[in-house]
Amino acid sequence: MTTAPGATPTIVLVGHGMVGQRFLEALAERGLTATHRVVVLCEEPRPAYDRVALTSYFSGRTPEELSLTDMRFIDDHGIELYVGEPAETIDRGAKTVTARSGRVLGYDVLVLATGSYPFVPPVPRKDAVGCFVYRTIEDLLAIEEYARTKARTGAVVGGGLLGLEAAGALKGLGLTSHIVEFAPRLMPVQVDEGGGAALLRTIEEMGLTVHTGVGTQEIVTDSSGAVTGMRLSDGSELATDLVVFSAGVRPRDQLARDAGLTVGERGGIAVDERCRTVSDPDVFAIGECALAADGRVYGLVAPGYEQAETAAATIAADEASFTGADLSTKLKLLGVDVASFGDAHGTTEDCLDVVYSDARAGLYKKLVVARDGTLLGGVLVGDAEAYGTLRALTGSVPPVSPESLVLPAEAGSGERLGPSALPDEAIVCSCHNVSKGAIRRAVGEHRCTTVPEVKKCTKAGTGCGSCVKVLGRLVDAELAASGVEVDKGLCGCFAQTREELYEIVLALRITAYRDLLDRHGREGARGGEGCETCKPAVGSIIASLAPTIGASGYVLDGEQAALQDTNDHFLANLQRNGSYSVVPRIPGGEIAPEKLIVIGEIARDFGLYTKITGGQRIDMFGARVEQLPLIWSRLVDAGFESGHAYGKALRTVKSCVGSTWCRYGVQDSVRMAIDLELRYRGLRSPHKLKSAVSGCQRECAEARSKDFGVIATASGWNLYVGGNGGAIPRHADLLAQDLSDAELVRLIDRFLMFYIRTADRLERTSTWLERIPGGLDHVRDVVVHDALGICDELEQLMRAHVAHHRDEWAQTVADPEKLARFVSFVNAPDTPDPVVAFVPERDQIKPDLPLLSIGLRPADDVLEGSAPR
């Protein structure tokens, strides 16, 4: 690198995606941002964001939440970031880069991180109106707008990783969705025939139509040039209004080609083991645009991160090389866990397959094992819980039999393999190449005692996140082995766990938070105000035990009101623009026409946005705080009560129509759902509770995705516990089967009270069931077989709750003193909050929110008013 005497050397980075941002961080870690001028040309109108989680935009994650760019980091390190400013040409002789705006940047080191572009098959009319690719946030915004206004049916060309995500996004947008894959199975690169079949069954059960073994011949359009269908290679025609091409990617190497840099025969900028281009030692290429020294273009983020580290180390004159990468992947596609690792297809000579398949449950697990017992690779579909451990053991002989690694717990031989069995050299975090030994050193040598501290120290778990569960177990095991005493107290105010505080409140009949803090808080906390961690936790404990300990169960009564979170404080859910949503309880989803009319009239009179939820309720959004009591009064008069959408309590008991109407139903699921919801309404718990009752094994109410779910059998009811949907879905486990009505209710009473008694703060039943020693077997021993002799007490606690339940909305509207809190401004109670504003959308309203600013340096050719600032 040649620099004029006294001048600051310049590093120019072309491309600011995930790999580009990691390169900047690697420069900063080595102090190069202090000794070099660093300039970034970013083609997209926004800086680096999490492209791996792109589809989460359709589930409510905003572009700002997807961002990977901390502008404070950019500013603190003096990085010049130009968004909306792509590089147009490179002059290697003059060592300059010219941007689209005409800006000319000289460089001492040039790093190309231009990524890849979507491959669109060369079919006729591929650019028709209604055809899209699936690569950037802007692509998603365009798809969303077109789907909302002009489409009812969508088709995705490609059944790989992004193709399945795109199909799920279209389905989430309300479109009838199709997947067209030329290969004979879905995800042909990652999974084998058996895994593809399991994946196909699960996806088709979700309502998507899959066409495999066929290609797209042409796009069919109408007279205006808009998509109306696709003609397939088997001669059939598929009617569709929208087409998304997701048939793979190609390296973006045209800029390098034009500059005379060597590229591979099938694309990719050729680099050596230090990520230098083979044509020019002052030019590097990293990520999906680079053809590595082993002749591969890596399309995963983890190899890109490793290349970014290698390039930064080379620039800093440190020893580093990139000689290949682990291609293991773990994803959740359409809610289905899919993972592959090592030699997943068994290409190694003289290897054996160990396979477990359960078509009914959508499970498929295959391990590829050498004759000497060495684990070579595998495929997991439907359950990838063991992925982190199995991937780390690849290349070694596991200490247990291969069969025990794929069989479910209830069918296994009893042998189980945890992360503690991994050798120190096993890679736990492939994104950042962190070994088990590095994690142990973080705990032992660097005194890290929590997972967040280990993440900060090693970067493990900060990439795709698939290793976080293994990471947590390793940290716990290492702490236990080293004899470190970890503070398990609820917070800085209490040395006791939530479970211990529950027992104290119950045994001593403590009815006030301040009394508990003064008598049992840490010495320095006594006489204080407490904190935002323990106040709502203790408030929940007191509320759940209120009838038994002689406390008021009304959360706005006296001291209790000061303990509540914002939502509980106003008995409604705070929304993003400062308004509130109101959710009345509709037990079992059953509602009479007269009550429907009342909800409609209230929504009309108060100008509220209405939406039917997945929990069979009707949400009304947009209420100002002073309107809440007025709305509740009308609902209470019509026979409604609070649905506790705001509380850590029972939300809903969903149901199908059951034997009353359905020809497949074997039990009256609606009646049972109503009985259960009315019994457990208002029950305060460590986290929210959801339930469902299905009238037959067809499971239309999705009971196995709930905290407690009930499925009808010809002989009664099966009870499942510990399930949940959300970001980390988990199927509930069977606790007991063929129960009578009375047996079912008794076991649910016990289960819920045992959970409330022993769970941690904000711990869902699914997490609690996996954490509690002994897991499901222990819970079954306690709840079904009364192994601890506490079932009578648990049932008594539940009977007390049922007998003393009072509706919080009705209590509030009947208390003038409590009504005084429902104002936007205490000193001007009649003044509405001017920030709460709305604009029309689809015959209703939506929040009127200003665009968020993120403080970027705009390109010169973009009007300042239109560029992100």
The answer to whether the annotation marks 656 as part of a ligand binding site is: yes
Mean pLDDT across 664-671? 92
Q: What are phi and psi of 504, to 5 degrees?
A: -65, -45
- 262 contacts: CB under 8 Å, gap ≥ 6: 269, 270, 277, 278, 279
Asked if residue 272 is part of any domain, the answer here is yes
Residues 812 and 782 in one domain: no
Residue count of the chain, please give it.
869
Q: How does residue 336 score in pLDDT terms, banded at 50, 70 and 90?
A: confident
The answer to whether the annotation marks 42 as part of a ligand binding site is: no
Rounded to whole angstroms, the Cα distance separating 405 from 65 reads 37
Predicted confidence at residue 416, as pLDDT, reads 52
Predicted confidence at residue 446, as pLDDT, reads 85
Residues 683 and 715 in one domain: yes
Q: Tell me, what CATH number does 184's domain have?
A: 3.50.50.60
What DSSP character marks residue 420?
A: G
pLDDT in tens, 737-792: 999 999 999 999 999 999 999 999 889 999 898 888 778 888 999 999 998 999 99
Q: How does residue 825 score in pLDDT terms, banded at 50, 70 and 90?
A: low
Q: How does residue 612 score in pLDDT terms, banded at 50, 70 and 90?
A: very high
Predicted confidence at residue 853, as pLDDT, reads 32
Residue bearing the bigger pLDDT, 451 or 679: 679
Beta strands in 613-707, from DSSP E residues, in sequence order: 618-623, 650-655, 689-694
Residue type, 263: V
Q: Tell me, what CATH number does 699's domain have?
A: 3.30.413.10
Predicted confidence at residue 414, as pLDDT, reads 40
Predicted confidence at residue 820, as pLDDT, reads 84
Percent of the chain past pLDDT 90, that is, above it, reads 53
The answer to which of 197-201, 404-408, 811-815 has the lowest mean pLDDT is 404-408
Q: How does residue 681 score in pLDDT terms, banded at 50, 70 and 90?
A: very high
pLDDT of residue 864 exceeding 60, the answer is no
Helix (H, G, I), strand (E, B) or coil at 664: coil
Asked if residue 353 is part of any domain, the answer here is no
Distances (CA, A) of 171 to 43, 165, 486, 618: 30, 10, 46, 22
Sign of the dihedral defined by the CA atoms of residues 593, 599, 600, 601, in that order? positive
Residues 516 and 655 in one domain: no
Last residue of a domain, one of 315, 331, 361: 315
Count of structural domains, the chain: 5
| Residue 555 CA to its chain's centroid (Å) | 31
Asked if residue 481 is part of any domain, the answer here is no
Residues 65 and 201 in one domain: no
Predicted confidence at residue 257, as pLDDT, reads 96
Residues 137 and 20 in one domain: no
Predicted confidence at residue 817, as pLDDT, reads 86
pLDDT of residue 587 exceeding 90, the answer is yes
Residue type, 109: V
pLDDT of residue 623 exceeding 60, the answer is yes
Predicted confidence at residue 860, as pLDDT, reads 36
Residues 655 and 733 in one domain: yes
pLDDT in tens, 523-578: 888 888 888 888 889 999 999 999 999 888 888 887 787 777 778 878 888 887 78
Predicted confidence at residue 415, as pLDDT, reads 46
What DSSP character marks residue 188?
A: T
Q: Measuring CA to CA, which residue among 343, 326, 310 is closest to residue 428?
A: 326
- 206 contacts: CB under 8 Å, gap ≥ 6: 171, 334, 335
Burial class (CB in 10 A: 0-12, 13-18, 19+), 251: buried
pLDDT of residue 61 exceeding 80, the answer is no
Asked if residue 490 is part of any domain, the answer here is no
pLDDT in tens, 453-496: 888 888 887 766 667 767 877 887 888 777 776 667 888 889 89
Mean pLDDT across 247-257? 93
Are 701 and 723 in contact by the 8 Å Cβ rule? The answer is: no
User: Which tokens is 856 given?
Assistant: 């970027």
C-alpha torsion angle, residues 356, 362, 368, 371 (rounded to 10): 10
Asked if residue 415 is part of any domain, the answer here is no
Mean pLDDT across 815-823? 86
CA atoms within 13 A on the CB side of 244: 34
Domain of 26, in residue numbers: 10-117+251-315
Asked if residue 288 is part of any domain, the answer here is yes
Residues 235 and 150 in one domain: yes
Residues 772 and 800 in one domain: yes
pLDDT in tens, 132-189: 999 999 999 999 999 988 999 999 999 887 888 889 889 878 899 999 999 998 888 7
Predicted confidence at residue 644, as pLDDT, reads 93
- Helix H or strand E segment including 846: strand 844-847
Q: How does residue 828 score in pLDDT terms, banded at 50, 70 and 90?
A: low
pLDDT of residue 857 exceeding 50, the answer is no
Asked if residue 423 is part of any domain, the answer here is no
Residues 32 and 110 in one domain: yes
Residues 662 and 770 in one domain: yes
Q: How does residue 855 score in pLDDT terms, banded at 50, 70 and 90?
A: very low
The answer to which of 205-219, 429-443, 599-613, 643-657 has the lowest mean pLDDT is 429-443
Burial class (CB in 10 A: 0-12, 13-18, 19+), 497: middle
Residue bearing the bigger pLDDT, 488 or 283: 283
| Mean model confidence pLDDT for the chain | 87
Residues 260 and 113 in one domain: yes
Mean pLDDT across 670-699? 94
pLDDT of residue 341 exceeding 90, the answer is no
Q: How does residue 81 score in pLDDT terms, banded at 50, 70 and 90?
A: very high
Asked if residue 62 is part of any domain, the answer here is yes
Q: Which residue has the tokens 């031989």?
A: 413
Residue bearing the bigger pLDDT, 820 or 701: 701
Q: Measuring CA to CA, which residue among 344, 335, 379 is closest to residue 202?
A: 335
Mean pLDDT across 360-388? 84
Predicted confidence at residue 3, as pLDDT, reads 55
Predicted confidence at residue 576, as pLDDT, reads 76
Mean pLDDT across 592-600? 95
Distances (CA, A) of 688 to 262, 692, 743, 779: 58, 14, 24, 19
The answer to whether the annotation marks 289 as part of a ligand binding site is: no
Q: How does residue 357 score in pLDDT terms, banded at 50, 70 and 90?
A: confident
pLDDT of residue 408 exceeding 70, the answer is no
pLDDT of residue 236 exceeding 70, the answer is yes
Residues 793 and 677 in one domain: yes
Q: Sheet containing 618-623: which strands, arranged edge to edge?
A: 573-574, 580-582, 618-623, 609-612
pLDDT in tens, 507-526: 999 999 999 999 999 888 88
Rounded to whole angstroms, the Cα distance separating 278 from 263 reads 9
Kindly give the pairing relationship between strand 857-858 and strand 434-435. Answer: unpaired
Predicted confidence at residue 615, as pLDDT, reads 87
The answer to whether the annotation marks 696 as part of a ligand binding site is: yes
Q: How does residue 238 score in pLDDT terms, banded at 50, 70 and 90?
A: very high
Last residue of a domain, one of 529, 564, 599: 564
Q: How does residue 869 score in pLDDT terms, banded at 50, 70 and 90?
A: very low
Kindly give the pairing relationship between strand 131-133 and strand 242-245. Answer: parallel
What DSSP character marks residue 469?
A: H
